[in-house]
Amino acid sequence: MSHYFSPDSPGASSPREIEVVLRGRPVRVATDRGVFSGERLDPGTAVLLSHVPDPPAAGTLLDLGCGWGPIALALAAASPQARVLAVDVNPRALELTARNATRLRHAVEVAQPDVLLAAEPELALDAIWSNPPIRVGKDALHAMLRTWLPRLAPDGVAHLVVSKNLGADSLQRWIENELGQATSRIASSKGFRVLAVAASAR
């Protein structure tokens, strides 16, 4: 069976349009079956977007696990001069993010994670925003975070939203202990924690 986080074909398409509010801005976006939260803005993503500070105005900003693109669209709207990257293993998610960015006149580069890293092995990130895929399981989640969080530039910060019930506090400890990156909880709302991860132990 194909899941929304699978690189396999995400199954039959059933395109739809939804209205969402991204950091105060109402937009109409394309979504589909076979992508995460295709029927609405995910409540965890909404918590992230309402608590995260503005991203840097310039530099390279990453939406890690973009789905249909709400986080990448918010990054691009907040920082039109920045380079905004959106990665996902689900090809339909990448197509939708690209289409939504074009429609809203944002420049967002979408890519499979491996393809991006093969093309730019030295890639450094000034910000990462993510609603990470907890349901892929701990090993896959940890592997993904191990790949991307150490790529923060010295002053870069990653903001992650994680459900308290799905292990936000243990993930915070894992990042500090295993990756050696200082991590603080900047918000707690509606059962979600927003974590801020620094580039180093500080």
**Beta carbons of 21 and 28 less than 8 angstroms apart:** no
How crowded is the C-beta side of 181, counted as CA atoms within 13 Å?
A: 25
In this complex, which beta carbon is closest to ligand SAM, that of residue 84 or of residue 93?
A: 93
Residue 97 binding ligand SAM, by CB under 6 A: no
Q: Least distance (Å) from ligand SAM to the CB of residue 93?
A: 5
Single residue of 20, 66, 96, 101 touching ligand SAM by CB under 6 A: 66
In this complex, which beta carbon is closest to ligand SAM, that of residue 56 or of residue 65?
A: 65
Q: Least distance (Å) from ligand SAM to the CB of residue 136?
A: 5
- How far, CA to CA in Å, does 145 sit from each of 31, 128, 186? 26, 11, 19
**Beta carbons of 198 and 157 less than 8 angstroms apart:** yes
Single residue of 29, 62, 88, 197 touching ligand SAM by CB under 6 A: 88
In this complex, which beta carbon is closest to ligand SAM, that of residue 2 or of residue 200?
A: 2
Residue 5 binding ligand SAM, by CB under 6 A: yes
User: For 55, which DSSP code?
Assistant: P
Q: Which residues of 120-158 are buried (b: 16+ CB within 10 A; e: fewer)?
A: eeeeebbbbbbbbbbebeeeebbebbeebbebbeeebbb
Contacting positions for ligand SAM (CB under 6 A): 4-5, 36-37, 42, 45, 65-67, 70-71, 87-90, 93, 113, 131, 133, 136, 144
